[in-house]
Chains A and B, each alone.
Chain A
């Protein structure tokens, strides 16, 4: 990978992983190191299911197979998949095929702040609802 592209992928605040068609890791950016506490040297050439064992489920295997064979783009939400990576962060995951290279791109997007904001709003709505019910009783 050329150094400009390599450095760019290391600058962005998203976890980026590139796999070859055997599902071996060929790139792991700095943000992935931050999320997993695993550095590039420890993961390069390893199978993705060995490094992220929570992906080793029928559903993900089926989806990744479809991505490779049929070119699907898949989206996995942090709300449904709470622990794809063992971290406190809430992460959405997009997976797509890069056809020319016959490789797979993983993009982990941190949406933890969205969850915090929504939880705060839900608590506030609940509070207002209870207050409203009490006022109706009086």
Chain B
């Protein structure tokens, strides 16, 4: 068994701290107990082989998807997106609204109000994650309000959009809200310089653990 602590392990711990804080605030807002967990993190080189990146997309991300994205700039520039299966987001939105819609047929026609709920949740979770990342490497950002879109299938090109981004941090994330589990992913697109700064700092911690 390999006991070495990897960069991904360190990032996972870092992200679990920030999603834990988001979960506590989210629970307060929607008055239901929410647990958030990041079970796995991967660093993917998008420039080297974009098509291969699709193989890292979690199997749970199938069918129509809802994506909530924020952009950040200043010393470190990038874009972070929260990606969930649209079908699961319908359940999540109904739970947030305290709505019982048993009699309404399954439906993926999201309204502006549905989008606003996802926008608020994406805003909270993504700000926490990027904020924690910024604190870790001691960088402040300028953030945008999230944009929401629904796409038919997960394709890494639709998440990256801007070819200037070299690396993608892929976080697998699980929302647990009143025993309903929703699996999704968070992608963070970064330029080479930004990721270098992050990985250098993590490399120092990694060496400390493995000495």
Contacts and interface: CB of A to CB of B under 8 A. Distances in A.
B60 interface: no
A70 B140 contact: yes
A80 B120 contact: yes
Nearest to B131: A70
B113 A118 contact: yes
Interface string A54-77: 000111001100100011111111
A60 to B, nearest CB: 10
Nearest to A115: B113
A130 B119 CA distance: 32
Contacts of B127: 66, 70, 72, 74
B29 interface: yes
Given A62-B25, A72-B127, A73-B144, A78 B105 contact: no
The residue among A63, A70, A125 with the most chain B CB atoms within 10 A of its own CB is: A70
Interface in B147-180: none
Contacts of B205: none
B143 A71 contact: yes
A59 B127 CA distance: 14
Contacts of A79: 96-97, 113, 116-117
A130 to B, nearest CB: 8
Contacts of B105: 129
A91 B169 CA distance: 35
A115 B124 CA distance: 23
B146 interface: yes
A111 interface: yes
A114 interface: yes
A66 B30 CA distance: 20
A121 B111 CA distance: 10
Contacts of A77: 113, 116-117, 119-120
A83 interface: no
A138 to B, nearest CB: 19
A94 B145 contact: yes
Nearest to B135: A70
Nearest to B74: A71
B28 interface: yes
Contacts of A22: none
A103 interface: no
A73 B103 contact: no
A134 to B, nearest CB: 13
Contacts of B103: 126, 129-130
6 contacts: A72-B127, A72-B143, A73-B70, A74-B127, A75-B145, A114-B112
Closest 5 CB pairs of A and B: A77-B116, A77-B120, A72-B127, A75-B123, A118-B111
